[in-house]
């Protein structure tokens, strides 16, 4: 398999992708090292000694797509799970601010248990809620603040013209309200003519499908990368 760097989503760490990537030698990078998105993109690009496959879930997929736009020399292909090429929605700022207040006042564990978990459709007694709380605590408040900044700073990459010169696999879930399948269609439409691109939607699943359905994700990642592992931009 070619070099692969995986970027978990907001307040998620390597545990969120471990099962889906169990058969790979992926390097996992938790987002939030730098305060500004452009600086974080520069940091990530410096990790790639050669054109590298980038996998991202949620904010990780958004950042991976921005990386392909800013540092195309660092990207051999994109594997995007519940991602979007759009700029931040105009109405998202109050929600991010409310999350930040909860995190500052009550802690990241409380944010994950009482806000994020229910937002993902999880019941209070769902075992995954505890995992989300543990991961949020491990990510920490500083990185979370930076991640919120990335979400708000990202420019739109949807301009009506295809521009992506690398293979793109977009995976989505039918019940994902945060990054619905139509946004993966928009990503697929960014591929230049002749570039290998695929969008596969998982029925009956939501935004956390890489955690809840890792075998499905792993099978599609393997099928997309392995037959053409010598592909370059």
Domain boundaries, given as residue ranges, for the chain: 4-88+155-228, 92-151
* CATH value of 4-88+155-228 in 3.30.70.1140, 3.50.50.60, 3.40.50.1820, 3.90.1330.10: 3.40.50.1820
Mean pLDDT of 121-144: 95
Q: In the predicted model, is pLDDT for residue 85 greater than 50?
A: yes
The pTM for the full model equals 0.95
Question: To the nearest whole percent, how much of the chain has pLDDT over 90?
Answer: 91
Mean pLDDT of 5-11: 98
Q: What is the pLDDT of residue 1?
A: 61
Q: In the predicted model, is pLDDT for residue 229 greater than 60?
A: no
Q: What is the mean pLDDT of the chain?
A: 95
Q: What is the pLDDT of residue 160?
A: 83
Mean pLDDT of 103-109: 98
Here the tokens at position 13 are 């760490």
Alpha-carbon gap, residue 218 to 225, rounded angstroms? 11
Q: What is the pLDDT of residues 170-210, one digit of tens each?
A: 999 999 999 999 999 999 999 999 999 999 999 999 999 99
Here the tokens at position 101 are 């207040």
Q: What is the pLDDT of residue 93?
A: 93
Q: In the predicted model, is pLDDT for residue 233 greater than 50?
A: no
């Amino acid at each position: 398999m070619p070099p692969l760097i995986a970027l978990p989503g907001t307040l998620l760490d390597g545990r969120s992708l471990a099962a889906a990537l169990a058969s790979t030698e992926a390097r996992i990078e938790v987002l939030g090292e730098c305060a500004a998105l452009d600086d974080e993109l520069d940091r990530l690009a410096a990790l790639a000694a050669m054109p590298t496959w980038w996998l991202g879930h949620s904010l990780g997929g958004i950042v991976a797509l921005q990386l392909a736009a800013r540092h195309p020399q660092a990207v051999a292909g994109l594997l995007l799970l519940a991602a979007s090429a759009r700029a931040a929605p105009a109405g998202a700022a109050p929600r991010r601010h409310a999350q930040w207040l909860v995190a500052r006042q009550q802690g990241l564990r409380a944010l994950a248990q009482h806000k994020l978990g229910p937002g993902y459709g999880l019941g209070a007694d769902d075992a995954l809620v505890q995992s989300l709380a543990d991961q949020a605590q491990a990510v920490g408040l500083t990185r979370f603040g930076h991640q919120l900044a990335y979400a708000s700073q990202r420019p739109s990459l949807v301009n009506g013209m295809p521009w992506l010169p690398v293979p793109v696999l977009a995976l989505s879930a039918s019940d994902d309200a945060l990054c619905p399948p139509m946004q993966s269609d928009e990503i697929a439409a960014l591929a230049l003519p002749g570039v290998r691109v695929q969008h596969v939607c998982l029925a009956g699943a939501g935004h956390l499908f890489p955690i809840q359905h890792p075998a499905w994700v792993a099978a599609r990642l393997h099928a997309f990368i392995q037959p053409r592992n010598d592909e370059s931009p």
